[in-house]
């Protein structure tokens, strides 16, 4: 299954983009290898039997049902590779890739469709040897022509994220039916072998008679472990395990994909979904609302341990979550205005009164990782920052920005006074109780959301903003309208979460790059278009060791935090999940994944006991 679409659960995870973040790594192989890794040796030897975090003897069978993540609470297309339409959850289960990510290594992939990879001595190419037994679900052979077609189609016609990540991949050459060679350009080629190794593979023959660029409810042809089963548009979709899956016994798949059926349910909001879980309408839910986790599971099924509440460690970077500010709008172009918005958000009061103290305030886009900047810049960071000094805020060279800490009261006048001074310095003064600029324009702020769970958080925030004279309000729209407006950047401020890669690289262009800022549907939701940031992204991508990578990301983090593109939210380094006691999971959890869809299995004995109670 292509890691381009591996599930990454979280509040408003941006499916495709959050998944691109997992792809970056470097390859420095001198000869064909069974895998590719960055900055070191592969954990698994050529003859490894299976990943350490699976149960190779896990039984096959049963069903798991769950709700989709993020803003996707409806769907109108089964084409996951284009910008158009609302994609159904789980479509990644249909597609294989040349190699597949190991979920217990930060940046390694191992052969799936490809049995080996050979990176050129100059790092400007990589050649993959395909397994002759690879097949699509209709039995047709999967060849290098399909791999080359997939690259060309995704880059030219696919979602803008593909074009951004593949910008420096010049060509894919089908040398013979079992050999494909990718050619790169430029100097920033460290990550490209891993990027192309994890692209989803499409059938050239299948799309010869179909329009790739259109939405469709026809089930696409893939070569992965599942096929589309029953579905009802906007209500549910199921995926049936393929007993004839060609790669089911490969080491990368042994002990994985154990459910006969995976079903995604769709609800109008997460509160309704929670009640459906408690009523037994579906099986599994990851809880993202602290109030619910603290108070909403006090029911007999939980007390009797039929419905389990489990906290599992999450060792991935917690990522960037916050109120993202649309800097494409003139009113938000001054970083002092954006900083004032941060000072007006009373996190301490929110955490105590709404989150039951379960979260920690975020400061960095690389929270919960060694890449988070701290204190003043190191000498190594300064070596990257000094050439850009004229383009950077002086604050970058001081202690890294940390969000203010309130006194915990409902209204911290000290922080609001500081925010007011920032607004005045930026040219926004009070007139007749409203914050206006020299043209008499009122400073307003509309928070665009699609479900009610954020309204309690926003209530106190909006009150504080209005106290500053800002005309603040909450606009809740239906999910389809939310998708349209955020794709076209038609909003002031919205909530978003991006799970950053453990080894960041060219996908940062999609989140933070100037080109992405002008690309409709991109993950650069804040409209960040800063040549200095583009230069630091290059430094991240050029890093030749993990130490250099960490240094470059920390330097980038300083610039981002000094620019105040978002009002940071909160995080917890754990998964809080609730599920009916009918499943089993391996003794070892994958370090960088929850693993519920591909490493858990249905326990028939537990299920029978549950039915008898």
- For residue 480, give Cα distances in angstroms to 207, 264, 514, 559: 27, 18, 27, 34
In the predicted model, what is the mean pLDDT of the chain?
91
521-554 per-position pLDDT tens digit: 899 999 999 999 999 999 999 898 889 999 999 9
| Angle subtended by helix axes 335-343 and 413-425, to nearest 10 | 170
Q: Are 493 and 448 in contact, with CB atoms under 8 Å apart?
A: yes
Match domain 320-571 to its CATH number in 1.20.1560.10, 3.10.105.10, 3.40.50.740, 3.40.50.300: 3.10.105.10
Q: Which of 154, 222, 117 is nearest to 108 (CA)?
A: 117
Residue 449's pLDDT band (cuts 50, 70, 90): very high
pTM beyond cutoff 0.95: no
pLDDT at 454: 87
Domain with CATH 3.40.190.10 in the chain: 3-264+573-601
pLDDT higher than threshold 90 for residue 590: yes
Q: Are 552 and 539 in contact, with CB atoms under 8 Å apart?
A: yes
Residue 26's pLDDT band (cuts 50, 70, 90): very low
Q: Distance between CA 466 and CA 424 in Å, rounded?
A: 15
Q: Which of 71, 91, 92 is nearest to 11 (CA)?
A: 71
Q: Distance between CA 11 and CA 28 in Å, rounded?
A: 36
Residue 72's pLDDT band (cuts 50, 70, 90): low
pLDDT at 70: 54
Q: Distance between CA 238 and CA 518 in Å, rounded?
A: 36
Q: Are 444 and 465 in contact, with CB atoms under 8 Å apart?
A: no
**Angle CA 154–124–115, to nearest 5:** 70
- For residue 206, give Cα distances in angstroms to 76, 142, 146: 21, 12, 10
Give the three-class secondary structure for 191. Answer: coil
- Segment 561-570 mean pLDDT: 96
Token pair for residue 27? 């390859």
Residues 6 or more apart from 350 whose CB is under 8 A from it? Answer: 457, 460, 461
Query: DSSP assignment of 425-452, as one string?
Result: HTT-EEETTEEE-TT--B-EEEEEESSG
Q: Which of 482, 359, 499 is nearest to 7 (CA)?
A: 499
Give me the percent of the chain exceeding a pLDDT of 70.
94
Give me the percent of the chain exceeding a pLDDT of 90.
77
pLDDT at 405: 96
316-362 per-position pLDDT tens digit: 888 788 999 999 999 999 999 999 999 999 999 999 999 888 888 99
pLDDT higher than threshold 70 for residue 1: no
CB neighbourhood size of 311 (10 A)? 12
Domain with CATH 3.10.105.10 in the chain: 320-571
- For residue 320, give Cα distances in angstroms to 174, 398, 567, 601: 39, 22, 10, 31
Q: Distance between CA 267 and CA 281 in Å, rounded?
A: 11
Q: Place domain 3-264+573-601 in its CATH homologous superfamily.
A: Periplasmic binding protein-like II (3.40.190.10)
pLDDT at 69: 65
Q: Is the dihedral of CA 432, 438, 439, 443 positive or negative?
A: negative
* Position with higher pLDDT, 500 vs 6: 500
Q: Distance between CA 28 and CA 193 in Å, rounded?
A: 9
DSSP 388: G
């Amino acid at each position: 299954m292509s890691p381009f679409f591996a599930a990454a659960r979280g509040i408003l995870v941006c499916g495709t983009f959050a998944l691109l973040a997992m792809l970056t790594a470097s390859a420095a192989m001198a000869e064909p290898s069974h895998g590719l890794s960055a900055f070191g040796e592969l954990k698994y030897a050529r003859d490894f039997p299976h990943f350490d975090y699976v149960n190779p003897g896990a039984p096959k069978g049963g069903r798991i049902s769950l709700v989709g993540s993020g803003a996707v609470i409806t769907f109108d297309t089964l084409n996951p590779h284009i910008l158009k339409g609302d994609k159904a959850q789980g479509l990644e289960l249909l597609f294989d890739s040349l190699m597949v990510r190991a979920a217990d290594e930060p940046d390694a992939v191992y052969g799936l469709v490809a049995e080996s990879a050979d990176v050129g001595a100059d790092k400007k190419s990589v050649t993959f040897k395909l397994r002759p037994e690879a097949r699509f679900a209709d039995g047709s052979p999967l060849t290098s022509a399909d791999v080359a077609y997939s690259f060309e189609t995704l880059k030219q016609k696919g979602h803008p994220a593909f074009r951004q990540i593949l910008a420096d991949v010049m060509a894919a050459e089908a040398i013979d039916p079992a050999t494909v060679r990718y050619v790169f350009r430029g100097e920033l080629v460290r990550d490209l072998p891993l990027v192309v190794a994890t692209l989803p593979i499409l059938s050239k023959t299948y799309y010869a008679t179909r329009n790739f660029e259109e939405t469709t409810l026809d089930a696409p042809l893939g070569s992965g472990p599942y096929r589309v089963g029953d579905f009802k548009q906007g209500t549910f979709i199921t995926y049936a395990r393929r007993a004839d899956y060609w790669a089911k016994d490969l080491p990368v798949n042994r002990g994985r994909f154990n459910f006969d059926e995976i079903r995604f349910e769709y609800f109008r909001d997460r509160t309704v979904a929670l009640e459906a879980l408690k009523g037994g309408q579906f099986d599994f839910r990851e809880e993202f609302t602290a109030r619910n986790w603290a108070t909403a599971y006090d029911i007999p099924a939980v007390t009797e341990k039929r419905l389990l509440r489990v906290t599992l460690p999450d060792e991935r970077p917690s990522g960037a979550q916050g109120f993202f500010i649309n800097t494409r709008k003139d009113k938000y172009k001054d970083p002092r205005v954006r900083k004032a918005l941060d000072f007006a958000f009373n996190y301490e009061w929110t955490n105590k009164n709404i989150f039951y103290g379960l979260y920690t305030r975020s400061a960095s886009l690389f929270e919960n990782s060694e890449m988070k900047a701290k204190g003043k810049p190191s000498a190594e960071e300064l070596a990257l920052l000094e050439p850009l000094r004229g383009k950077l805020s002086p604050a970058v060279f001081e202690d890294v920005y940390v969000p203010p800490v309130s006194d915990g009261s409902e209204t911290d006048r000290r922080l609001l006074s500081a925010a007011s001074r920032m607004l005045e310095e930026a040219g926004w003064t009070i007139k007749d109780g409203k914050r206006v600029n020299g043209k008499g324009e009122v400073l307003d702020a509309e928070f665009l959301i699609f479900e009610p769970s954020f309204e309690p958080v926003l209530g106190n925030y909006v009150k504080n903003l209005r106290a500053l004279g800002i005309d603040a309000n909450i606009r809740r729209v239906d999910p389809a309208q939310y998708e349209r407006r955020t794709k076209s950047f038609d909003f002031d401020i919205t909530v978003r979460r991006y799970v950053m890669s453990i080894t960041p690289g060219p996908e940062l262009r999609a989140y933070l790059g100037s080109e992405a800022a002008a690309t409709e549907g991109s993950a650069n939701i804040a409209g960040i278009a800063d040549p200095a940031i583009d230069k630091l992204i290059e430094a991240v991508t050029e890093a030749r060791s993990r130490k250099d990578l960490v240094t470059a990301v920390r330097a980038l983090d300083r610039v981002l935090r000094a620019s105040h593109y978002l009002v940071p939210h909160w995080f917890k380094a754990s998964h809080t999940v609730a599920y009916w006691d009918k499943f089993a999971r391996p003794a070892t959890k994958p370090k960088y994944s929850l693993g519920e869809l591909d490493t858990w299995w249905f326990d028939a004995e537990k299920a029978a006991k549950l039915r008898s109670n």
